[in-house]
Amino acid sequence: MSLALFPLNTVLFPGCFLDLQIFEARYLDMISRCMKQGAGFGVVCILEGKEVGLAAQGYARVGCEARITDFKQQDNGLLGIRVQGGRRFNVLRSEVQRDQLTVAEVEWLDELPEQPLQEEDADLMALLKALAEHPMVEALNMGTDAAGQQSLANQLAYLLPFSELEKIGLLQVDDPQQRLDAIQALLDELQGDLFA
């Protein structure tokens, strides 16, 4: 499967929303094609290079499909889009086109079926509800409900202030229970650092 990539300094997770301002010709063309074809593009986290200018040289090999849910002309004249995370994927190989757009051959990762929330997920669910009250999170309109473990894990991994590398690691975890356990371990580490 061929997918245009948009390397960013962020990690997108399935079901989560991201607002982007588009101003470079390669991405304006890409968004136009996606909207005409009803297709998505791939968001991968930059490990080396910048978001603008020449194509980023180093980026994570795991990413998330971005589906355009809304768009509007911003006050500054730029195109603003809102995307929602779709399927996760691994990049098999990629090439940079003449216009500096990176196009990759990807394989979709299998998603395990949504599992119901367990009693031990209550603290993490409470954390998600608390995060949802933050103005920046509220602006994304993601809601505060998690349909199950997968949804809870994705939202927390996306919203919590973990490093990009930690978030990439979480995106690679297939099992929602393992992802929640990893999030809890990272939170315990953060808490330990605060009180050290």
pLDDT surpasses 90 at 152: yes
Same domain, 100 and 124: no
Tell me whether strands 79-96 and 62-73 are parallel, antiparallel or unpaired: antiparallel
Tell me whether strands 2-8 and 41-48 are parallel, antiparallel or unpaired: parallel
The model's pLDDT over 34-90, given as tens digits with 9 standing for 90+, comes to 999 999 999 999 988 665 555 556 899 999 999 999 998 888 888 999 999 999 999
This prediction has a pTM of 0.90
User: What is the rounded CA–CA span in Å between residue 94 and residue 102?
Assistant: 7
Number of domains in the chain: 2
Give a yes or no: residue 154 inside a domain.
yes
Give a yes or no: residue 114 inside a domain.
no
